[in-house]
Every structure is written in C-alpha cells, then in structure tokens.
Homo-oligomer: A and B are copies of this chain.
Amino acid sequence: MTIEASETATDSAPIRIGMVGGGQGAFIGAVHRIAARIDGDFQLVAGALSSDAVRSKTSGAELGLSPDRCYASYEDMARLEAERSDGIEAVAIVTPNHMHFPVARAFLEAGIHVICDKPLTSNLQDAEALADAVKTSGRLFVLTHNYSGYPMIRQAREMIANGALGTLRLVQMEYAQDWLTEDLESSGQKQASWRTDPAKSGAGGCIGDIGTHAYQLGSFVSGLATNSVLADLTSFVPGRRVDDNVSVLLRYEGGAKGMLWASQVAPGNENALSLRVYGDRGGLEWHQENPNQLWFTPFGEPKRLLTRGGAATTPAAERVTRIPAGHPEGYLEGFATIYREAAAAIRALRSDAPLPDAVTFPGIEDGLAGMRFIDACLRSSDGGGVWVEP
C-alpha cells in the first residue's frame, strides 16, 4: 500500500478549486467532486455550476460554497477568482463538450490550471486552438481520461514499456454500453439529450463519448502511434442524430494492427470497456468492470491473474494503490488518481519545482490525439468506410 500523496504533503494546504458545470442532475460533476475529495488534496470553493443564476446559487449552497462564489457566468468566475488573493488555483470543467473550449480558454488566460472532462472539445478546430491556448498560458491542463488512472492499467503500460509482451502486434479495444438501445433522448433524460445533440456533443456521438476513451486507453497502454484508421459508424436508433455504434480498424506505426468497437446499443453491457494487447512474447487482458485484475500470459506459459496490490505488482501500479489486494478499488479511486496527480503537479508548480516523476495523467496532447481520432473516424465513415490518417 502506498502512502497517499496528500498525506505526505505536510507543508501544503489543500488546493483551492472551482467547478464549471455539474449542477443539479449532472452525473460527471458529482464524480469529479468525489474524486477531488478522496485524497484530500482539494477544497471546492467556487463554482459556475449552472448558467442559470438561481440554480447556480442553489447548487452551490448544497455544496457548501459561499454565495458570493457561486457564479452564473464562467467568464465572471475566471475574472473575479483571478483577482482574489484566495482565488481558485484550478478549475474543473464538467460541462457538455461544446463548452470545454471557451471555458478552458477563459481560465487559462486568467492564469488558472484546468482539469477538463473528455473529449477535449466538440471539434478538431477548437481542439487545436485550445492546444495553443494551453501552450501560451503555461498553466497545467489535465484531461480526465480517468480510466488511465486504474492501477492495473498503469501496470499494463509499464509492463509493455519494459518489454513483457515483446514487439506489439495487436491492440483490441472495446467499450460497450446499452443505455441508448432505445430512443432515450426523446424522453428528455438529461444525459441522453446533450450526448446525442451534435450542437453540444460534436458531430460524433458514441465515438466521442466512449470510443475516444477506448482509443486513449489503447494508446496510453500500448504506447503506439496511429498511422491510419477505417471506421464504420452507425445510428441504429431511428431519429438519432449521432452515431450509437462504431467499428474501427486501426493500423499502428511499426505494423501493429488494432480493432475498436464502441457501442451504446448492446444490451447486457453496462460499461464494458476492455483492452487486450498482444505481442510476440505475451498477451495482456483487462476489463474495466473488474478493474483490479489483469490477465497476463507469457507465451508458452499458463495465464496469470495479476491483481492490484498482489504478488506481481509493479512500481507504476504500487504508486497509485491505496489499499491492499483483495479490497477492490473502483472507478472513483481511478478517477481520484488523476486528481491526486494533478494536485502533485500543481503543488510542484506553486514552488516552481519540476513536475514529479510519477505524474502520468493525460493532458492536452492526449486530448488532441483523441480529437484527431474522432475526426478521422467521421471522415472515414462519411467516405463510406475508407482508410484515412488521423
């Protein structure tokens, strides 16, 4: 078990953080707040939780924010918080996708670090502009591809980097859900509504919402760069305005191949993100719904069940492990690891120290790669299913 980052940071007060989005009825906002609390590194002190002034105050009050720091406008929040001596040091952006760019830019320009939900933006053009903004600002940009925070994912990445699989040949990615099997958006359900509205989510539906998670995970773990992709996107539910099922073939640099399936219309799948990677010396398999396990087969030997905190734990996994083997850590802990690492980085920047070695959270480059992937898949599929470069 690892001592928590926050608990060893004896000379550091909690980091003051604000939130944009995440008011009543939101899902991911609450997740970010729990993730920020788990290791005790952050204190939520401000929010533009809703663009409706009353709702923003109500939501803020529920979270214990003081009324004068419940903003109706993110622009106001960025400006006014930047002016305060006790202003926020970081902001968590948990809005629908189309708002990521303007909100992030505003806070970066105000000198405030940004922790932003994925996908980076709702289109590639915004993404590139945001990348410029990050560069100019000198501030930290953290993208919550939270699945890369799981200890066994860190272990998989480390094992591959250390050659445990030999030369990589295959990356098989899946992310299957079933919650959009029917026309849920017509019922007014909040999550379904904005995630299937191209004006808010971007032109991609399933590809952006979950396909990009699977793609990021494959890239993060394998370390492979993508040469070309071929995608077949489908909207199965009548009337749906975005894709709800995605089949992608990938060709990686160096000759490895990949397949990626993402679906929101596969009954019996709740949040079935999985990753399998094969090389000429072995294979790895991981399933998000049982995240404390990683299957490892050195070619020609029996399959081994590696567990979080168990006998074959590697340093990269150990570093992000809180409790012993057999005591399952879950989604929130993986998410919290991104926050913990963001905190370590922010604390380092407070004192102009170099970023800690252990920091491996996804950032602007991952976000940009994800947007290029989405864009390539849309181009490929629009072209009838042809090979394109991302």
- Residues of chain B within 8 A (CB-CB) of A305 are 302-305
CB closest chain-B residue, reference A272:
B326
In the complex, per-residue mask of A290-322: 1 if CB is within 8 Å of any chain B CB, else 0 = 111001111111111111011110000000001
Q: Does A289 contact B (CB under 8 A)?
A: yes
Q: Does A283 contact B (CB under 8 A)?
A: yes
Q: Does A390 contact B (CB under 8 A)?
A: no
Q: Does A31 contact B (CB under 8 A)?
A: yes
Please state if A285 and B268 are interface contacts (CB–CB under 8 Å): yes
- CA–CA, A30 and B40, complex, Å: 12
Q: Does A109 contact B (CB under 8 A)?
A: no
CB closest chain-B residue, reference A271:
B326
Instruction: Count residues of A near B (Cβ-Cβ below 8 Å).
Output: 98
In the complex, per-residue mask of A154-184: 1 if CB is within 8 Å of any chain B CB, else 0 = 0000000000010001101000011001100
Known: A247-B257, A283-B178, A326-B272. A302 touches B311 (CB 8 A): yes
Determine which of B232, B261, B298 lies in contact with A172 in the assembled complex, contact meaning CB atoms within 8 Å. B261
Please state if B8 and A27 are interface contacts (CB–CB under 8 Å): no
Quote the shortest CB–CB distance from A235 to chain B (angstroms): 11
Known: A37-B40, A305-B305. A170 touches B332 (CB 8 A): no
CB closest chain-B residue, reference A304:
B302
- CA–CA, A281 and B200, complex, Å: 28
Determine which of B300, B325, B333 lies in contact with A311 in the assembled complex, contact meaning CB atoms within 8 Å. B300
Known: A257-B245, A302-B304, A332-B329. A268 touches B291 (CB 8 A): no
Please state if A331 and B325 are interface contacts (CB–CB under 8 Å): no
Known: A170-B266, A327-B331, A331-B329. A384 touches B385 (CB 8 A): no
Q: What would 20 more interface pairs be, CB under 8 Å, given A37-B37, A37-B39? A: A3-B30, A8-B62, A37-B40, A165-B267, A169-B234, A169-B265, A170-B245, A170-B266, A178-B283, A230-B232, A230-B385, A232-B251, A232-B257, A259-B261, A270-B309, A272-B326, A302-B306, A328-B330, A330-B330, A332-B333
21 contacts between A and B (CB under 8 A): A7-B62, A8-B62, A10-B62, A10-B64, A30-B322, A31-B323, A33-B40, A38-B38, A169-B245, A170-B245, A178-B297, A181-B299, A182-B280, A230-B230, A267-B297, A289-B328, A292-B330, A302-B306, A304-B304, A328-B330, A332-B332
